[in-house]
Amino acid sequence: MVELLLQNIWLIPIYGLIGAILTLPWSFGFIRRTGPRPAAYVNLLMTLLSFLHGSIAFNAIWTHPARQVMWQWLQVADLTLTLKINISPISLGALEVITGISLLVQLYALGYMEKDASLARFYGLMGLFEAALSGLAISDSLLMSYGLLEILTLSTYLLVGFWYAQPLVVTAARDAFLTKRVGDILLLMGIVALSNYGEGLDFSQLASWADDSTLPPLTATLLGLALIAGPTGKCAQFPLNLWLDEAMEGPNPAGIMRNSVVVSAGAYVLIQLQPVFTLSPVSEIVLITLGTVTAVGGSLMAIAQIDIKRTMSHSTSAYIGLVFIAVGLNHVDIALLLLFTHAIAKALLFMSVGSIILTTSNQNITEMGGLWSRMPATTTAYVVGAASLITAFPLGEFWTMRRWLDGAWPIPPWLLVILGFVNILSAMNLVRVFRLVFLGPKQPKTRRAPEVPWPMAFPLVTLTLVALLIPTVPIRWTLWLSAGAPMLQVPPPWTITWGLPILIASGVIGLLCGFWIPLQRTTARPTQMGLRFFQDLFAYDFYIEQIYKLTVMNLVASLSRLAVWCDRYIVDGVVNLVGLATIFGGNTLKYNTSGQSQFYLLTIFLGVAALFWLIFSGQWSIVTSVWSLWFAGG
């Protein structure tokens, strides 16, 4: 039985898909009598099924051998495409996280989306989301992962555009799709190239291929860069980071998924691609640079936001930036652990944020205050989530950092600086948001806020408990992916001896700063020009959007205008000029015939008739001799 469940683990994405398809009668209004709720229940049931199936398999995999299941998909000429799934503790663990969070989120959405008329459509899209994510978790083929990433892109587009009647939502959905698409197209280029160079597109083959590949350095670098681009878009890393912040226009339960597991999906693919990056030092440097820029920039952008969802989403980009750095340094296990702890912490924070938004009908943190006594479960969730995100004993991120700095990996000093910086800013920002939302005097919008109803409170509390338990994972983690990690160095360099204390100290500094900085609840802005400049710079995301408007978008728009102009006045212009001459010719004859179309048609018919006459009357030889003469001459 257990063996059967393990072998058929590929059914889990199918469950989600079935759930999504089953919502169609409700979302298109074929069934109206029941209201949209049954669609939600169907999806919850399917997700529960996935979760149970996955859990049994996850328990079993520790005693069963890891294995791969392969299907031959297409075999044409020299192209063989296989779909392959990987059944291992890591893939099933990822599956467990995804189905678990998805189950909690869908339960949560029962409360959050209760009054939405399009509940069925929402659950359909969540089913699609879950199907693509769980497929990604077990996929061992780059092609399949690419496909699933694209389906994620589509479902992100549809989920962000869920409330499509609002103008901001429409642009947010468009930007989310197109930004990710930029990354995906580059990734596709990489896949096309890899499929030409490599033996196959399976992750497990990539490692052995990379070991004895003879790719020239430039090609390897370009290939690496193309493969990085896809996850960069997916994980909202600089320079493709803006969509995540805009995507906050979508419904919050989808936001929970997006900020915890969907962005992680891109990084998960990146981790699996890591052997290819070892081929080219440049791509490793690029990974580290992108990660650093996003980690630092994202943290800075987060502290200037007044929208509670946007500040959290910038922090997501920043933490995934750390994952990029870890992959760039080949610290693959740490990358995975970072993803895991971040996913749980961020999911919890976003659930808490969702509760706040629902009860206050507001996302602006400067209009909130004093919620702690009114919403104890939400407050607890926020505190636990925040503590799990920063390096604070004894929660998830602390243990992950401890694993990173325990001497198994070389830690360059700059890494400590970045980690410390992100930790300080993150702590400061979380405290700032905490003070604005939960402490201080009650505001008009928070005065009568109740605690959330049970469909939301239950997952909230459950996830809080989970977050308290997850430190066991980084503590007990066996180094699955980097078996060849260097051994402990004796004596340990100072970065390892002092690494953890420095990080803890940075967290404390951040907390103190957060408590110390003055907060205005009114929209009053700093009077010093310098401070004001920086606030604007961070709040408007370093004006990246304006830069894009001026460069890429402007370029595409100009080129398309040029193409249309050229089409109209040059290509078609010449044709019409020639045509005009003909029509003038036709005009003179117009008085003899009834109209120009008929005239042309007549000409055609006469021409064809002449041709046939030539054919049938045996006069063809005239034409023949002309041609053969011509060719004989040529």
Partner 1 sequence: MLLSALIWIPVLGAIAIALLPQSVPNLWARRMALAIALLVLLLLIPITLGFNPDHLEAQFSEYLPWIGVLGLNYHLGLDGLSFPLVLLNGFLTLVAIFCTRAEIDRPRFYFSLILLLSAGAAGAFLAQDLLLFFLFYEVEIIPLYFLIAIWGGGRRGYAAMKFLIYTALSGILVLASFLGLVWASGAKTFDYEPLRHHSLPMEVEMALLIMLLIGLFIKIPIFPFHTWLPDAHVEASTPVSVLLAGVLLKLGTYGLIKFGVGLFFKAWIILAPGLAILATISALYGAFSAIAQQDMKKVVAYSSIAHMAYILLAAAACTPLSMTAAVFQMVSHGLISALLFVLVGVVYQKTGTRDVTILRGLLNPERGLPITGSLMIIGVMASAGLPGMVGFIAEFMVFRATFAIFTIPTLICLVGTGLTAVYFLLMVNRVFFGRLPDNLAAIPRVAFQDHLPSLVLTALLVIFGLQPAWVVRWSENQATDFVVSPELRRPTLGTAVRSPLSAPSLVAPAISPTLSSD
3-state secondary structure string across 365-413: HHHCCCCCCCCHHHHHHHHHHHHHHCCCCCCHHHHHHHHHCCCCCCCCH
Q: In angstroms, what is the minimal distance from the CB of 583 to partner 1?
A: 9
Binding site for partner 1 (CB under 8 A): 27-29, 73-79, 117-118, 146-148, 150-151, 154, 157-158, 161, 164-165, 167, 169-170, 173-174, 177-178, 181-182, 185, 188-189, 192-193, 195-196, 556-557, 559-564, 567, 571-572, 575, 579, 582, 596-597, 600-601, 604, 608, 615-616, 618, 620, 623-624, 627-628, 631, 634
* Element holding 85 (H helix, E strand): strand 79-87
174/445 with CB nearer partner 1: 174
List the beta bridge partners of residue 108.
none
Amino acid at position 38, single letter: P
- In this structure, are strands 79-87 and 67-76 parallel, antiparallel, or unpaired? antiparallel
Cis preceding linkage at 167, omega within 30: no
Q: Count other Cβ atoms within 10 Å, centred on residue 71.
A: 12
Q: In angstroms, what is the minimal distance from the CB of 77 to partner 1?
A: 4
Q: In angstroms, what is the minimal distance from the CB of 19 to partner 1?
A: 17
Q: In angstroms, what is the minimal distance from the CB of 496 to partner 1?
A: 44
Number of H helices, E strands in the chain: 28, 2
Q: Which has the closest alpha carbon to 300: 179, 420, 421?
A: 421
Q: In angstroms, what is the minimal distance from the CB of 550 to partner 1?
A: 17
Q: 């995999």: which residue's tokens?
A: 61
| Alpha carbons within 13 A on the beta-carbon side of 152 | 30
Longest alpha-carbon distance in the chain: 105
CA-based torsion, 240, 272, 398, 252: positive or negative: positive
Q: Count other Cβ atoms within 10 Å, centred on residue 400.
A: 27
Q: In angstroms, what is the minimal distance from the CB of 258 to partner 1?
A: 19
Q: In angstroms, what is the minimal distance from the CB of 464 to partner 1?
A: 36
Q: In angstroms, what is the minimal distance from the CB of 611 to partner 1?
A: 9
Backbone angles phi, psi at 165, to 5 degrees: -80, -15
185/439 with CB nearer partner 1: 185
**What is d(CA 169, CA 179) in angstroms, rounded to the nearest whole number?**
15
Q: In angstroms, what is the minimal distance from the CB of 195 to partner 1?
A: 5
531/604 with CB nearer partner 1: 604
15/146 with CB nearer partner 1: 146
Q: In angstroms, what is the minimal distance from the CB of 323 to partner 1?
A: 25
* Element holding 557 (H helix, E strand): helix 554-565
Q: In angstroms, what is the minimal distance from the CB of 360 to partner 1?
A: 26
223/312 with CB nearer partner 1: 223
74/531 with CB nearer partner 1: 74
**What is d(CA 239, CA 253) in angstroms, rounded to the nearest whole number?**
26
List the beta bridge partners of residue 70.
84
CA-based torsion, 16, 18, 24, 30: positive or negative: negative
73/454 with CB nearer partner 1: 73
List the beta bridge partners of residue 67.
87
64/174 with CB nearer partner 1: 174
4/76 with CB nearer partner 1: 76
Q: Count other Cβ atoms within 10 Å, centred on residue 541.
A: 22
**What is d(CA 433, CA 414) in angstroms, rounded to the nearest whole number?**
28
* Element holding 74 (H helix, E strand): strand 67-76
Q: In angstroms, what is the minimal distance from the CB of 421 to partner 1?
A: 35
10/458 with CB nearer partner 1: 10
74/519 with CB nearer partner 1: 74
591/631 with CB nearer partner 1: 631
**What is d(CA 194, CA 275) in angstroms, rounded to the nearest whole number?**
13
Backbone angles phi, psi at 519, to 5 degrees: -120, 135
Contact partners, residue 15, CB within 8 Å, separation at least 6:
46, 47, 49, 50, 53, 131
Q: Which two tokens stand for residue 445?
A: 């919008």
Q: Which two tokens stand for residue 109?
A: 């959405």
546/598 with CB nearer partner 1: 598
Q: In angstroms, what is the minimal distance from the CB of 383 to partner 1?
A: 39
Q: Count other Cβ atoms within 10 Å, centred on residue 168.
A: 11
